[in-house]
Amino acid sequence: MKGIAQRTIASVAILATLTLGTPALALAGTTTTTTTTIVAKTPVITTMKQYRAADKLYLAQRKVINLTFLAAVATAKLNLASSLSGALNSSQRISARATYRFAVTEATIARSNSLTQLGNPPVKPGHKTAVTTTTA
């Protein structure tokens, strides 16, 4: 039980970090009229112990992103089912399906943005580090 609570707290902390960090990066490029280029270099990992810890953290963050996406899609499906059961005519059914598709599209975009912000997985010791360039 203690492990589940710790994982839940860690997942919420990771999700909050990703959620609060995204608007800050988005606003950084919008305040000026010039193009801002952000170069993020993967930290150098020198031992396998560091690699395993970094990989474990990376996979946990990806899991949170994927679970958030799946939860959003499940909510959209529930909303679709309830809307279709209460629909009286074809225009209400069409509207319900359009709302469902919009919700799934928004969840997909949010997942894609989160995965982009997460970046590449950590690099094992002895391999070349990846350089990621983002233009905002």
Residue 125 DSSP label:
T
> What pLDDT, on a 0 to 100 scale, did the predictor assign at position 87?
93
Domain parsing of the chain, residue ranges: 2-135
DSSP annotation of 39: E
Query: In this structure, are residues 118 and 18 in contact, taking their beta carbons and an 8 Å threshold?
Result: yes
CA distances from 127 to 47, 122, 123 (A): 12, 10, 6
Q: Is the dihedral of CA 83, 88, 94, 95 positive or negative?
A: negative
- Largest Cα separation within the chain, whole Å, is 64
Identify which of 130, 7, 109, 16 has the alpha carbon closest to the alpha carbon of residue 59: 7
Q: Output the pTM of the full model.
A: 0.61
Q: What is the pLDDT of residue 135?
A: 64
pLDDT, averaged per 10 consecutive residues of the chain (136 residues), comes to 55 53 49 54 76 95 97 97 95 96 98 96 77 60
Contact status, residue 39 vs residue 119, Cβ threshold 8 Å? no
Task: Determine the pLDDT at residue 52.
Answer: 93
d(CA 130, CA 52): 18
